[in-house]
């Protein structure tokens, strides 16, 4: 099934731009309807505007209420979180079961939460990677949909690891969207 997708971001938005690019090239069937950020200074948002997609900043204590209004206005039926740094409440998640996915830069269930790469390096892991999972009301704990693995080298630091994993994230996000489109046909 082709979805009507909203992508929620807070920062650079490289995953979001990669999904927009895939959409533009017709690599995914779903439509990217809107990009929403809770951060008015999100770099990604400015870049998204160039694609002519509807962008929206919601920087308010009523974030979820305003988000719901925005999503219904554009008939969004699927949400991709991509570097979105706000936790969605249990109340908001009701009705969106298996309709919200998130990308996390580790091989979950390892290294949930923040500072993932720093902690992975400290533990001297030999492999790390990224995970896309359905969002539930526990942080980075929903059902895993798919993962990509990278080898961690002795020479890696936080930045090199982040860069390597981000490249895999881009690949993974498109693969997962295609997989979900197919499984819902």
Q: Give the number of other CB atoms < 10 A from CB of residue 98.
A: 14
Length of the chain: 185
104 part of the active site: yes
| Element of type H or E holding 44 | helix 43-49
Does 142 bind ligand GRF (CB under 6 A)? Our answer is no
State the catalytic residue, choosing from 70, 104, 117, 133: 104
Residue closer to ligand GRF (CB basis): 18 or 30 = 18
Residue closer to ligand GRF (CB basis): 27 or 184 = 27
Q: Pick one of 3, 6, 15, 79: the residue that binds ligand GRF (CB under 6 A).
A: 15
In degrees and rounded to multiples of 5, residue 29 shows phi and psi of -85, -30
Q: Pick one of 105, 134, 161, 164: the residue that binds ligand GRF (CB under 6 A).
A: 105
Residue closer to ligand GRF (CB basis): 73 or 158 = 158
**Among 21, 16, 19, 56, which residue's Cα sits nearest to residue 36?**
56
* Dist CA 85 CA 107 (whole Å): 19
Q: Which residues bind ligand GRF (CB under 6 A)?
A: 9, 11-16, 44, 82-83, 103-105, 130, 166, 169
Catalytic residues: 104
């Amino acid at each position: 099934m082709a979805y009507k997708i909203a992508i929620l971001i807070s920062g650079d938005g490289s995953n979001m731009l990669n999904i927009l690019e895939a959409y533009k090239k017709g690599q995914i069937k779903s439509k990217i309807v809107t990009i929403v950020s809770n951060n008015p200074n999100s770099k990604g948002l400015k870049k998204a505007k160039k694609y002519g997609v509807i962008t929206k900043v919601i920087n308010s204590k009523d974030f979820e209420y305003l988000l719901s209004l925005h999503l219904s206005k554009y008939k969004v039926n699927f949400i991709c979180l991509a570097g979105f740094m706000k936790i969605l409440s249990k109340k908001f998640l009701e009705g969106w079961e298996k309709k919200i996915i998130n990308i996390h830069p580790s091989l979950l269930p390892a290294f949930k939460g923040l500072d993932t790469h720093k902690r992975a390096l400290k533990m001297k892991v030999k492999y790390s990677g990224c995970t896309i999972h359905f969002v539930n009301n526990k942080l980075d704990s929903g059902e895993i949909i798919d993962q990509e693995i990278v080898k961690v080298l002795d020479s890696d630091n936080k930045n090199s690891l982040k860069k390597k994993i981000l490249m895999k994230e881009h690949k993974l996000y498109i693969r997962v969207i295609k997989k979900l489109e197919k499984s819902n046909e």
